[in-house]
Amino acid sequence: MQESLDEANKNDTKSMDIFKTASILKPTGICLGLMFFQQASGIDAVVFYTVDIFREAGTNLDSNLSTIIVGGVQVISFFLSGVLIDRAGRRPLLLISATFMAISIFALGLFFKLSKDDPSVKDSMGWLPLSSLVLFCIAFSIGFGP
Does residue 27 form part of some domain? no
User: Has residue 79 been placed in a domain?
Assistant: yes
In a domain, 85, yes or no: yes
Give the C-alpha separation, 146 to 140, whole Å.
8
Give residue 32's identity as a one-letter amino acid code.
L
Single pTM value for the model: 0.76
The count of domains in the chain is 1
Look at residue 100 and tell me if it is in a domain: yes
Residue 18's pLDDT is 66
Distance from CA of residue 58 to its chain's centroid? 25
68 in any annotated domain: yes
Domain that holds residue 53: 42-142
Q: φ and ψ at 141, to 5 degrees?
A: -70, -25
pLDDT number for residue 99: 94
Residue 80 lies in a domain: yes
Output the pLDDT for position 96: 92
Q: How far apart are CA 71 and CA 64, in angstroms?
A: 11
CA 61 to the chain's CA centroid:
25
Cα–Cα distance measured from residue 113 to residue 26, given in angstroms and rounded to the nearest whole number:
40
What confidence score (pLDDT) does residue 106 get? 95
CATH code for the domain of 114 = 1.20.1250.20
Mean pLDDT of the chain: 84
C-alpha torsion 123→127→132→137, nearest 10: 140
Distance CA 84, CA 72 (A): 18
Torsion of CA 81, 127, 105, 55, to 10 degrees: -110
Q: In this predicted model, what pLDDT tens digit does every residue of 73-128 receive, in sequence order?
A: 888 988 888 888 888 888 888 999 999 999 999 999 999 898 888 888 777 887 88
**Assigned domain for 1 exists:** no
Whether 34 is in a domain gets the answer no
Taken in order 71, 72, 75, 76, is the CA torsion positive or negative?
negative
